[in-house]
Amino acid sequence: MLEMAIVVLKSNIGYIYSTRAHSSTFHASYRHTKTIIFPSKGPEMSSSQSLPEACDVVIVGAGPAGLATALLLAQQQSPRWERIVLLEKRPSIDAEEADKSYTYMIDGRGFSLTDSAGVTKAVEAAGVICSGLSISRVYPDGTYSERRFNFKDSSRASVWLPRRAFLRALHSGLAEAEQQGRVRIMYDAKVTNIELAAPGRGHASAAVLPIAVHVREAGGAGRELCFTPRLLVGADGAASEVRQALELWAPTAGLPEGTFSPVVLDSPSAGLRYKVLNLPPNPPFRTKQQPPQQQKKKEQQQEQATVSAGGSGSSHRVLPNSQLASVAGIKAPRQRAMQLGMLPFRDPSSPRTANVIAPSDHVFWTLDTGEKLGAFLQASLLESFPQLDVSALFNEQQLEAAAKSRGGSFPRPQYMRHFIAVLPYTPRDSDQQFAAAAAAASSSCGVVLLGDAIHCFPPDLGQGVNSAMQDVMEFAKALHAADGNLARALPLYEGRRAPEAAALAEIMTFGAPYQYSQDKIQLTLCGLNVILRMFLHRLAPKVFSQQTFVLIQQAEMSYAQIRDQVHATTRRIWALVGALAVALGALAVKFALAAGTGTLAVA
């Protein structure tokens, strides 16, 4: 039972950090006439280099949040968003760094958006549908086991799929709008300047609307363009350029310093480094012909039936792409011990990826050549993974590329308290092209952030993409409720999502931070905590909540409700411990007094 809890750790009561949820909203007040320019690293563009192009929406970032926003806006009928421009710095919709290729688990929160957008079938067709949690594990001696755990709510199926597959599914919903010319995606597009100006003053490059976005195309002739949208959406990640522009603009609007700065928390998993190793499809490994003796006879027969023919000592089998798997390394000191995690892929012919997650002082990060990496993975004396045939998984060029790749690191949990700005403006009578837009928006423009731009954290509970999809859904609902009036819709959206962003970031400080085995003692304690919460919930389900991982899958619950339930259960556990301690103390005193009385009577 303890091993089960440790392998799939999903809760922890020992690391709870207190944060405050801020749900206040604000309207940007324009009392200044100075134009704020967000400079890029490149040279500035003058107004003579590009004529401003009016549009309804500019979305910076064509990742999951950006594509989902374009998809829902394109589907809205009242008001109708006719000109939507997405700016993506990558060369294509599915381009990604090989050592940072992500796999998403889309749960009920993510499906709320795909259902609304009509792309759920495309998502399911591209991924592995999982109604439970089953993990295949390969041990250093070649022992193979497959276990199913009860941590996951089997009534709520999830879908595992690569990031590029999810982007393609979202993009498929934009096909008609792109053909109609209502949606335009620009790749290799670098945002160079973002101008936010006061009403009545305008820009040299944007005579009417108070927002101007300058862009340089990387390919071809390197054109420089300028867009003047009614709505600017920042879906450009944790290092959002749109957010940086808001930070520079805020003081001129009379807003306090730090209004658009994130609140940063801490987590035991923050700072862990990761790298993705690319493997061939269905990677092979060495295994014993005889499975562990503790497994049932039926399981032994099934295991033997799937093992390829081999010698008397060992043989080979494969890890199918569709299986969630873990390959354990040999027992070693903390700075050398490691394991490989493999998330499921639907395509059996697709190259497999293995995730390496380890502390920054791990020896793995010193392996800067292919020769060193190959020796670490499987050398004659110090092999870390004797069950793997490294020569069958990598050639020399692949090992060298893997050693040279940078990988990444898990961020500290953080969230934004404010992430919208309403920019009023008064169109001139001669600006006929903006008459309808002004009527729909009540003479307001706006800036809004979504997804990682307002909350980011380690991937402990798989909520990054799912919470981003919820952001987009709530934004679309706010627009609909306000009939497209940005002055009402943006504060409504912020008021709903700001408390959720704060709660989600806090959940990440205690949800499952030790699942990466960076601290064996804490991992064991957290496993015991999981068992305790499971037992107490079964004993008194109305008093003690389920563990964090199960609660997080219940899409009908808000993140604030989940956080509050977990904290309430923690308080009740400590109250129970205190009551037991008092009872045991009273019992000890009673026995001591009884023993003393008996001694006196004998005397």
Per-residue pLDDT tens for 244-258? 999 999 988 888 989
386, 409, 432: which is the final residue of a domain?
409
Query: Could you give the C-alpha distances from 275 to 101, 327, 341, in angstroms and in order?
Result: 9, 15, 11
Same domain, yes or no: 488 and 565: no
Q: Which residue has the higher pLDDT, 377 or 150?
A: 377
- ∠ CA 500-505-506, rounded to 5°: 100
Same domain, yes or no: 199 and 254: yes
In a domain, 146, yes or no: no
**How is residue 200 annotated by DSSP?**
T
Q: What percent of the chain has pLDDT over 90?
A: 53
In a domain, 105, yes or no: no
Of 407, 347, 341, 497, give the one whose Cα is nearest residue 98.
407
478, 507, 536: which is the final residue of a domain?
507
**CB contact set of 151 (below 8 Å; sequence gap of 6+):** 8, 10, 133, 547, 549, 550
In a domain, 299, yes or no: yes
Same domain, yes or no: 47 and 195: yes
Q: What's the mean pLDDT in 445-452? A: 96
Q: Are 178 and 158 in contact (CB under 8 A)?
A: no
Other CB atoms within 10 A of residue 365 CB: 15
Does the N-terminal peptide bond of residue 291 adopt cis geometry, omega within 30 degrees of 0?
Answer: no
Q: Is the pLDDT of residue 242 over 80?
A: yes
Q: Which domain holds residue 399?
A: 273-409
E-strand ranges in 95-188 read 103-106, 128-130, 133-138, 144-149, 158-162, 183-186
Q: Which residue has the higher pLDDT, 334 or 381?
A: 334
Same domain, yes or no: 461 and 313: no
In a domain, 332, yes or no: yes
Same domain, yes or no: 401 and 313: yes
In a domain, 117, yes or no: no
Q: Is the pLDDT of residue 177 over 70?
A: yes
Q: Residue 558: helix, strand or coil by DSSP?
A: coil
Most confident of 103-107, 513-517, 559-563: 559-563
What confidence score (pLDDT) does residue 377 get?
85
Same domain, yes or no: 207 and 242: yes
Find residue 263's DSSP bridge partners. Answer: 415
467, 483, 507: which is the final residue of a domain?
507
pLDDT tens digits for 126-149?
999 987 778 889 998 888 888 877
Q: Could you give the CA distance from residue 240 to residue 233 in angstroms, rounded to a whole number?
A: 10
Of 474, 532, 502, 578, give the one whose Cα is nearest residue 112.
474
Same domain, yes or no: 403 and 278: yes
Amino acid present at 308: S
Q: Are 330 and 260 in contact (CB under 8 A)?
A: no
Q: Look over the chain and give the mean of its residue pLDDT values, rounded to a whole number.
A: 82
**CB contact set of 535 (below 8 Å; sequence gap of 6+):** none
For residue 33 the two structure tokens come to: 């006439």
Same domain, yes or no: 481 and 500: yes
What confidence score (pLDDT) does residue 390 get?
84
E strand or H helix that includes residue 527: helix 520-539
Q: Are 494 and 418 in contact (CB under 8 A)?
A: yes
Same domain, yes or no: 401 and 456: no
In a domain, 378, yes or no: yes
CA–centroid distance for 201 within its chain: 40
What confidence score (pLDDT) does residue 389 get?
84
Task: Indicate the pTM of the whole model.
Answer: 0.83
What confidence score (pLDDT) does residue 603 get?
56
Q: Could you give the CA distance from residue 491 to residue 480 in angstroms, rounded to a whole number?
A: 13
**Phi, then psi, of 234 in degrees rounded to 5:** -100, 100
What confidence score (pLDDT) does residue 96 get?
77
pLDDT tens digits for 27-38?
333 333 333 333
Angle of the 64-75 helix axis to the 108-117 helix axis, nearest 10: 40
Same domain, yes or no: 88 and 232: yes
In a domain, 175, yes or no: no
pLDDT tens digits for 247-296?
999 988 888 989 999 999 999 999 999 999 989 999 988 876 444 444 45
Q: Residue 70: helix, strand or coil by DSSP?
A: helix
Of 391, 368, 192, give the one whose Cα is nearest residue 286.
391
E-strand ranges in 324-453 read 325-328, 339-342, 352-358, 408-409, 414-415, 420-424, 444-449
Same domain, yes or no: 218 and 366: no
Same domain, yes or no: 222 and 262: yes
Number of domains in the chain: 3
For residue 154 the two structure tokens come to: 């089997």
User: Is residue 368 classed exposed, middle or buried when 0-12, 13-18 and 19+ CB atoms within 10 A define those classes?
Assistant: exposed
Other CB atoms within 10 A of residue 273 CB: 18
The CATH number of the domain holding residue 74 is: 3.50.50.60
**CB contact set of 379 (below 8 Å; sequence gap of 6+):** none
Q: Is the pLDDT of residue 454 over 90?
A: yes
pLDDT tens digits for 353-396?
899 999 999 999 999 999 899 888 875 445 688 888 888 888 88
Q: Which residue has the tokens 């009673």?
A: 590
CA-only gyration radius of the chain, Å = 28
User: Is residue 114 classed exposed, middle or buried when 0-12, 13-18 and 19+ CB atoms within 10 A define those classes?
Assistant: buried
In a domain, 203, yes or no: yes
What confidence score (pLDDT) does residue 311 get?
39
**Start-to-end C-alpha separation, the chain:** 51
Q: Which residue has the higher pLDDT, 593 or 89?
A: 89
What confidence score (pLDDT) does residue 475 get?
97
Q: Could you give the CA distance from residue 265 to residue 501 in angstroms, rounded to a whole number?
A: 12
Q: Which residue has the tokens 């804490």?
A: 522
Q: Could you give the CA distance from residue 402 to residue 377 in angstroms, rounded to a whole number?
A: 12
Find residue 103's DSSP bridge partners. Answer: 162
